[in-house]
Amino acid sequence: MLRLSHRGVCVSDIARSERFYCEALDFAPYQDDGTVSGPDIEQTTELAGVQLRCKMLKHRDGPVLQLLQFLSPESFGPRERRSTLQYGLVHLSFYVDDIDAAAAKIAAAGGAVHEETRAHYPEGGTTLLYCTDPDGVRVELMHAQAVPGRFSHSGICVNDIDVSIGFYQELGFSPVENYVLDEGMDWLSKINEVPGIKLRAQMMKDSEGNVIELLKVFEPDCFGPRERRKLNQFGLTHLAFWDDAPDATATKLTQRGGHFVEDAHVVMSSVELQQGADPDGVRIELMKPLGS
């Protein structure tokens, strides 16, 4: 068994973020782990003296978010939307039935609407608009007449798209739709807030319908470190997978350009955890259930 469990988000106020995702984006409380700490948590997070609140939310379509609020050490970093040219996790994306109503719900729940990013993709008949959650995570709203409201995907800015395709295939994803947008389109520049941007968007889907979007930007150059961000850095943090054979998976992912950290490998009473990263520094967590 190898399947996506959840996407992680480091937040400044877990109650506020829970309200935002539940009221604005159709998530609901799913699992509350309370406050966690101790040697095993320090080892797996690679943070000395760590103490954090952890809560899971589940979307009505199935995807799960893990909200992490670090009480110690304090979280850090900007709480503003990251550029789509910045390597790593970029956004969460949703189809909505009414883009104006969805944006209003986001604003009312404590997020922000960036009206200047509203754009229309003529070929797909899709209107797009970027918003942000209370900690600056990009939330992409999309409206297409023939597509019902649903969670769509999470996006990753990559350096070598062929390497990334191979990596995520080892995690159960297969290439599906592929969009080559290399003509400097005005609508694409507007939604990304990057004049003249040219890119390829390769969608990858697993057997349960989870989708990730691999974004390879041709122009202009992308930027930023391609190393694992600290887990207590605000924003999208990691992708976590249930895996009955994490050792074998870690070996395959390392061969595909990723890496794993043996010092962060923890065996607890109910779960074994391995921590690593994809070729562009996106944190990957492998979780093996133990016992009954």
Please answer whether residues 161 and 202 qualify as being in contact, where contact means their C-beta atoms are separated by less than 8 angstroms.
Answer: yes
Spatial separation of the C-alpha atoms in residues 190 and 114, rounded to whole Å:
11
CATH of 2-77+230-257, one of 2.40.50.100, 3.10.180.10, 3.30.565.10, 3.40.50.1370: 3.10.180.10
Please answer whether residues 140 and 94 qualify as being in contact, where contact means their C-beta atoms are separated by less than 8 angstroms.
Answer: yes
- Give the predicted TM-score (pTM) of the model: 0.96
Question: What are the boundaries of each domain within the chain?
Answer: 2-77+230-257, 88-219
Spatial separation of the C-alpha atoms in residues 108 and 223, rounded to whole Å:
33
Phi-psi region of 173 (alpha: psi -120 to 50; beta: other; left: phi over 0): beta
Instruction: Identify the pLDDT of residue 292.
Output: 58
Spatial separation of the C-alpha atoms in residues 67 and 76, rounded to whole Å:
15
- On the question of a cis peptide bond just before residue 78, with omega within 30 degrees of 0, the verdict is no
DSSP the chain: -EEEEEEEEE-S-HHHHHHHHHHHH-EEEEEEEEEEESHHHHHHHT-TT-EEEEEEEEETTS-EEEEEEEEETTPBS--SPPPTTBSEEEEEEEE-S-HHHHHHHHHHTT-EEEEEEEEEETTTTEEEEEEE-TT--EEEEEEETTS-SEEEEEEEE-S-HHHHHHHHHTTT-EEEEEEEE-S--HHHHHHHT-TT-EEEEEEEE-TT--EEEEEEEEES--BS--SPPPTTBSEEEEEEEEES-HHHHHHHHHHTT-EE-GGG-EE-SSEEEEEEE-TT--EEEEEEE---
Q: Which two tokens stand for residue 76?
A: 């850090």
Q: Which two tokens stand for residue 72?
A: 């110690």
Intrachain domains 2-77+230-257 and 88-219 with the same fold:
yes
Please answer whether residues 52 and 71 qualify as being in contact, where contact means their C-beta atoms are separated by less than 8 angstroms.
Answer: yes
The pLDDT averaged over each successive group of 10 residues in the chain (292 residues) is 96 98 98 96 97 97 96 96 96 98 98 98 92 98 94 98 98 97 96 97 97 98 95 97 97 98 95 97 97 68
Per-residue pLDDT of 228-268, as tens digits, reads 999 999 999 999 999 999 999 999 999 999 999 999 999 99
Cα separations in angstroms, 176 against 164, 169, 201, 212: 14, 12, 10, 10
Spatial separation of the C-alpha atoms in residues 253 and 167, rounded to whole Å:
6
Instruction: Identify the pLDDT of residue 291.
Output: 77
Q: Which two tokens stand for residue 275?
A: 């921590």
CATH of 88-219, one of 3.30.530.20, 3.10.180.10, 3.40.630.10, 3.40.50.1000: 3.10.180.10
Spatial separation of the C-alpha atoms in residues 279 and 256, rounded to whole Å:
8
Please answer whether residues 168 and 214 qualify as being in contact, where contact means their C-beta atoms are separated by less than 8 angstroms.
Answer: yes
